[in-house]
Structure 1
Amino acid sequence: MFDPVIAPSGTLLGLLQRGRGDGTLHALTAPRSEALAALNHCVTHDPRHDWQVENRSLYYARLYLDLHGELDAVEAHLFDPEDVLDTDESRTGLALAVLGHLASYGRRDALDLLRRYAAHGTNWAWALDELALRDDDAGLRALAAPVLARFTTDAEGEAELAATVRDAFEPRPWRLWADDPRESVATRVRAAQEAGSFDRWQRQMRPTGPRPGWSVQAVFEWAQQGVERGAALHVPAARCLTAVAGPEDRPEIVRAAQDGTEGARCTALRYLADSNDPDALDLIEGAVTTGSTAVVEAAVDAFERMRSLAAVDRARGWAR
């Protein structure tokens, strides 16, 4: 997702994009068509820099209520052909969340839009979560067939369905469908629930994390596997080193901090900093100079945790 283009803060659009309280006042005093145009732009072009930590949906939903705003622009956005091409949930997440709030306030048109999108839209799971909190049993039962039709009946499709049921944010629709009077629906959902529960049990019985019997090299390899999967594991890996590493392992850890793989280097730097190793400061300084972005960030984080006088003196030297 590209960074949003934010209008100047003195404009109505800029105020609404920033979620300012006085934005509501300006919208209510502006011409209604202008206010609705700005509101629709915000909802269909998410202005948040990080949509996962900024909550703006209730703010916009209340403004729709105050302006008695129609949802034509939101509908056009949800069912635009782009919905098939851009499957990132951030494209439609804000609009769906706004519709969810509007449905809670009794807007039937918002509820109908959510139902249609759950049946036909790409980001259907988000819409289903919104409906799970707002729709009645009859409305949810009507969605069972179109939702299940998204999953093929072969082994791959059933596995995908089981994973979806297992990871569902709101389980209500799936529990309702498991008791559906239509045998074809209930049987398939119950099988998916059982498969998901079994998979969760298997993962609990076979933890993938390090064990006390691991070697230092095994911990480094585990940290590198996290890097390859896009998960930063050097912090827990450093804690594992505390359990498995002895004095005889220090040379190996120092070598890893100097020129190991990205995961090993981050782990070693964190471990050496936490243990106040005499070479930690030199290794951190070298990592900042020669390391990758992830290594540099790990080195800086490790240094910030150090509380020794030597660390303070080194910081003063860097500041000169």
Structure 2
Amino acid sequence: MFDPVIAPSGTLLGLLQRGRGDGTLHALAAPRAEALAALAHCVLDDPRHDWQVENRSLYYARLYLDLHGGLEEIEAHLFGAEDHLDTEESRTGLALAVLGHLASYGRQDALLLLRRYAATGTNWAWALDELALRDDDAGLRALAPPVLARFAADAEGDAELARTVRDAFEPRPWRLWAEDRRDTVGPRVRAAMEQGSFDRWQRQMRPTGPRPGWSVRAVLDWAQEGYERGAVLYGPAARCLTAVAGPEDRPELLAAARDGAEGARGAALHHLAESADPAVLDLVEHAADGAPRPVAEAA
């Protein structure tokens, strides 16, 4: 991205590009068409030297409200052919953030543009994050099919989906979609979320040495190692067990929950409780009666 070209500070455009407070006063005093042209120039050609640390979207959104500005130029910017040629977040991020603030202020046209861009635009993830904070459940549910269609229904597409869910800035849409009853939505998102938890566990394991095999035993060992270091990992380990354990692993989990070492035992108990295993009540009672104090408290 090239450094922005900033107009002289004495001009209306220069004031707005710098985010100056008196820029708002000058814009309101200027002819409306001139003020809107300068405002659109700023929103469509981000004037910030570092867009990741300078917040300017609320400033511009409020000015759009004060000037009763339309969104036609933002719409043309988002849905033009260049959106598929220049996929950098910096090209559309400011415009999407401005739309997000406008939607918060009740601008339905801004909300509709965000929904449309989340369904079809290149920088769709940013638009989805804006909607996660402002849209209702029905609006977000309607976006599930077009968003999921971006990911091929194969191993590579599922892996990309899992990474996207894992790294999502705003988790609300994904959690909502995980509860969706449609066969093409809920099961796929839940699988991606489980894989994301598993991926996080993998990343946690890497700094401590060679990567272990992905097995129930490896997860239990990790929970025990954490316990010995003073880190209680019952919850994270239980989520990892959900990702790796199958029916054939139940005997090992039952044995760990009954007589395992403290860290592994707590993780196994948590996992069996979350999966509603029929033996878990007896195991919890057994742990509460005679297990070491940390395990008894966990039970």
Matched to 1:135, the amino acid is D
Match of 1:157 in 2: 157
Cα distance in 2 for partners of 1:19, 1:136 equals: 31
Secondary structure of 1:15 counterpart: helix
1:215 paired residue number: none
Task: In structure 2, give the amino acid aligned to 1:198.
Answer: F
Runs of 4+ in 1 over 4 A off after TM superposition: none
Q: Which amino acid aligns with 2:185?
A: V
How high is the TM-score relative to the length of structure 2? 0.69
Separation in 2, partners of 1:14, 1:116: 32
Take 1:122 and 1:115, find their aligned partners in 2: how far apart are those partners? 13
**Aligned-partner Cα distance in 1 for 2:203–2:28:** 53
Aligned to 2:8: 8
- 2:110 maps to what in 1? 110
Name the amino acid aligned to 1:133. L
Question: What aligned pairs does 1:271-290 form with structure 2 within 5 A after superposition?
Answer: none
Cα gap change, 1:189 to 1:23, in 2 (>3 Å): same
Q: Distance in 2 between matches of 1:141 and 1:97?
A: 21
Aligned amino acid, residue 117 of structure 1:
Y
Work out the CA distance in 2 between the residues paired with 1:209 and 1:63.
54
User: Any stretches of 5+ residues in structure 1 without a counterpart?
Assistant: 211-320
Q: Deviations over 1:20-51 (max 9, x none)?
A: 00000000000000000000000000000000
Cα deviation 1:188-227 (Å, max 9, x = unaligned): 00000001100111111222789xxxxxxxxxxxxxxxxx
* 1:75 aligned onto 2:75: yes
1:84-136: per-residue Cα shift (whole Å, max 9, x none)? 01010000000000000000000000000000000000000000000000000
* Distance in 1 separating the partners of 2:74 and 2:90: 14
1:50 alignment partner in structure 2? 50
Distance in 1 (CA, whole Å) between partners of 2:135 and 2:187 is: 23
- Aligned equivalent of 2:196: 196
Name the CA distance, whole Å, in 1 between partners of 2:79 and 2:196: 31
Q: Which residue of 2 aligns with 1:297?
A: none
Moved more, 196-205 or 119-128: 196-205
Which deviates further from its counterpart, 199-208 or 151-160?
Answer: 199-208
The percentage of aligned residue pairs carrying the same residue is 86
Using the alignment, how far apart are the partners of 2:183 and 2:152 within structure 1? 17
Q: How many residues align?
A: 210
Partner of 2:83: helix, strand, or coil? helix
- Provide the residue aligned with 1:90 in structure 2: 90
1:181: how far off?
Answer: 1.8
Gaps of 5+ in 2: 211-299
